[in-house]
Amino acid sequence: MEGKKTPYIFATANQKGGVGKTTTAITLGSSLSLFGYRVLLIDLDPQASLTNHLAVEPEKLEYSISNVMVSESFHPDEIIINKYRLKTGGCIDLIPSNINLARIEAELSVSEGGGLRLKERLKFLPDNYDYIIIDSSPALSVLLISAIAASDEIIIPVISDFLSARGVELLLTTIGKVETAINIKCNYRLLITMFDRRTNSSWKSLDYFQNKYQNCHFNSIINIDTRFRDASLIRKPLTYLDVNARGAIDYINAAKEIINGRKNQIKGAKDE
């Protein structure tokens, strides 16, 4: 493909921990790469689960996302780790994180325009990515604001239970505030994760979420699959470990929704 590519940037976000943010970033990213897309994953969580899951040791890193965030002279290119190169032409690259990000977080939250730093710095990325996925930390913090500000779209992984409903509303309020503050438009989509088909309450709350957030949810649902644990144990994306695992198929279906949605968007823009 000729010319400069504009990557489509996602962030996974939910202030609740353990809802599948990191799993979504990795498994959706690796699913997109299976279709030949070039994917960059950015770990924006000081706990560095994404980094760990991709078999990179956070504490041994010389450079991490923190360097990109604080130093203008630091080119993001210098810390990109080429993790996977596939025969499809797709790839997974990683900008890793470690606990240093917690210190940067404090600094950013008191500096003017701190929430825009990531967005600004991402302009200096190499232009060969199709998709960038930012994995955010479980808090309504300046790091989450940074992820929202830098993204075209927020993926909200949510467990299908009624207790999650209030959390989603809070997150959407935060997204709305960031949109107003910096005058951007950021779409969002809910992704139901860890869906338990056997319980009545899962189906009921699925119904609730799909009705309440019509047109703003993935049609694909991510079922509970113990194979995710196997994948994290060997520190590999599930889609690479076993492409036929239930959870891998679910994320591949979600990736197809993204790909088809992008094709329609690009076609729509050309027709205008």
Ligand X SMILES: Nc1ncnc2c1ncn2[C@@H]1O[C@H](COP(=O)(O)OP(=O)(O)O)[C@@H](O)[C@H]1O
Binding segment for Mg ion (CB under 5 A), chosen from 47-55, 116-124, 139-147, 199-207, is 47-55
Residues in 176-205 at the binding interface with ligand X, rule: CB under 6 A:
193-194
d(CA 159, CA 156): 10
Write down the least CB distance from residue 24 to ligand X, Å: 7
* Residues sharing a CB contact under 8 Å with residue 120, sequence separation 6 or more, in sequence order: none
* Tally of CA atoms within 13 A in the half-sphere of 81 that contains its CB: 21
Among 9, 11, 13, 19, binds ligand X (CB under 6 A): 19
- Are 97 and 48 a contacting pair, CB within 8 Å? yes
Instruction: Tell me which stretch binds ligand X (CB under 6 A): 20-28, 109-117, 173-181, 255-263.
Output: 20-28
Nearer to ligand X, 4 or 229 (CB): 229
Give, as ranges, the residues between 48 and 87 that touch Mg ion (CB under 5 A).
49
Closer by beta carbon to ligand X, 126 or else 167: 167
Cβ distance to Mg ion smaller for residue 24 or 174: 24
User: What is the separation of C-alpha 114 from the centre of its chain, rounded to a whole number of angstroms?
Assistant: 20
Site for Mg ion (CB under 5 A): which residue of 21, 53, 83, 121? 21
Q: Are 43 and 97 in contact (CB under 8 A)?
A: yes
What does 194 bind: Mg ion, ligand X, none (CB cut-off 5 to 8 Å by kind)?
Answer: ligand X
- If one asks whether residue 22 binds Mg ion (CB under 5 A), the answer comes out as yes
Alpha-carbon span 94 to 77, nearest angstrom: 10
Does residue number 30 form part of the binding site for ligand X (CB under 6 A)? no
Q: Distance between CA 77 and CA 95 in Å, rounded?
A: 9
Instruction: Tell me the closest approach of the beta carbon of residue 237 to ligand X, in angstroms.
Output: 11
Extended strands (E) in the chain? 8-12, 38-44, 81-85, 91-95, 131-136, 153-159, 187-193
**141 is a contact residue toward Mg ion (CB under 5 A):** no
Calpha distance 192→158 (Å, rounded): 5
- Residue 105 interacts with which of ligand X, Mg ion, none, CB < 5 to 8 Å by class: none
229: contact with ligand X by CB under 6 A: yes
CB of 256 to ligand X, least distance (A): 18
Which pairs from 61-64 meet CB under 8 Å and 24+ separation? Answer: 61/96, 61/98, 64/95, 64/96, 64/97, 64/98, 64/100, 64/101
- Using an 8 Å Cβ cutoff, are 43 and 65 in contact? yes
SS3 138: coil
Cβ at position 127, least distance to ligand X in Å: 28
Confirm or reject binding of residue 22 to ligand X (CB under 6 A).
yes
Binding track over 49-68 against ligand X, x by CB under 6 A: x-------------------
Residues 6+ apart with CB under 8 A from 69: 101, 104, 108, 117, 118, 121, 146
Binding site for ligand X (CB under 6 A): 17-23, 49, 138, 193-194, 222, 224-225, 228-229, 232, 247
Binding site for Mg ion (CB under 5 A): 21-22, 49
